[in-house]
Amino acid sequence: MIAQFVSGKFVLDLGFVFIGLGWGLMAGRPSSRNLLIFLFGCASLFCASLAIWMTYEYFNSSASDANLTNNGIAQIVTSGLLTSFVVATLCRTRIRSWFNTPRLAPAIGASWTLPAALAFAVVLGQQTLRDWQPPPRQPFPIFTTVTVRDAETGEKIDSVSFLPKQESMGGTWPPSLRVSTRGTRDEGIQLKFKGAVTEPIEITLAAEGYSPQTVELTESSPELMTVKLTRKP
């Protein structure tokens, strides 16, 4: 739950609620006992009501639905028996008298409270670091047309190869990015990139007789970009 909260989401985990109740039970707090009796009592009533309803559905459903309902009844009855056992145990006279007995809380350094709290904090921290994932990056638009020219003469280059540099892409473009080429009389070949991506796109441009060059397309890239390739020595 903490990892999801750090990622910008909030999901209520009932385990955290019962951690506090369990702590109160071990400390002998009557309020924790009474609250658990109430919660498990409500759970027992809910399971009993649900089991009765599912039993009615079992005798008024098709064969496939009856099989599903039959499995559900077994699970609900088992859950109801377990919750009823907890309530019956907490209501026993010996248990009730133990909770009502006055007790002195030991000093924090002489009890299990401090080491238990430290152990819980370590386990919780490891779980949080293991489950935490950074929030996904927001996509940004790219709309850029790239033309390639000779760095010395400024003349157009008609035949250019281009590939994504990112190894994570496996040599392919992101599915949301459309790549097209067009040959013009004045500008030569034009590479058009249009779409929404979550990270900058690095492109390696190469042509016969020229050294390869890598350019990066970002959200701030101009609509028209001219790349000049240098001839090989």
DSSP for 20-53? HHHHHHHTT-HHHHHHHHHHHHHHHHHHHHHHHH
81: left (phi over 0), alpha (psi -120 to 50) or beta: alpha
Which of 77, 111, 131 finishes a domain? 131
Confidence of residue 39 (pLDDT cuts 50, 70, 90): confident
Residue 27 backbone phi and psi in degrees, to 5: -85, -5
Per-residue pLDDT for 228 more than 80? Answer: yes
Which of 80, 108, 131 finishes a domain? 131
The answer to whether residues 146 and 119 belong to one domain is: no
The answer to whether residues 192 and 86 belong to one domain is: no
136 versus 217: which is more confidently predicted?
A: 217
Tokens of 90: 């907490």
Q: pLDDT by residue (tens digit) across 46-83?
A: 888 888 887 777 777 654 455 555 567 777 888 888 88
Domain count, the chain: 2
Q: Note the pLDDT of residue 67.
A: 54
The answer to whether residues 115 and 21 belong to one domain is: yes
Confidence of residue 190 (pLDDT cuts 50, 70, 90): confident
Q: Note the pLDDT of residue 198.
A: 83
The answer to whether residues 11 and 109 belong to one domain is: yes
pLDDT mean across residues, the chain: 76
The answer to whether residues 12 and 108 belong to one domain is: yes
Per-residue pLDDT for 169 more than 50? Answer: no
The answer to whether residues 204 and 147 belong to one domain is: yes
Domain of 188, in residue numbers: 140-229
Tokens of 56: 């009615």
Residue 51 CB contacts under 8 Å (≥ 6 apart), including other chains: 73, 76, 77, 80
The answer to whether residues 121 and 34 belong to one domain is: yes
The answer to whether residues 123 and 144 belong to one domain is: no
The answer to whether residues 23 and 97 belong to one domain is: yes
The answer to whether residues 103 and 146 belong to one domain is: no
The answer to whether residues 9 and 124 belong to one domain is: yes
CATH of the domain at 163: 2.60.40
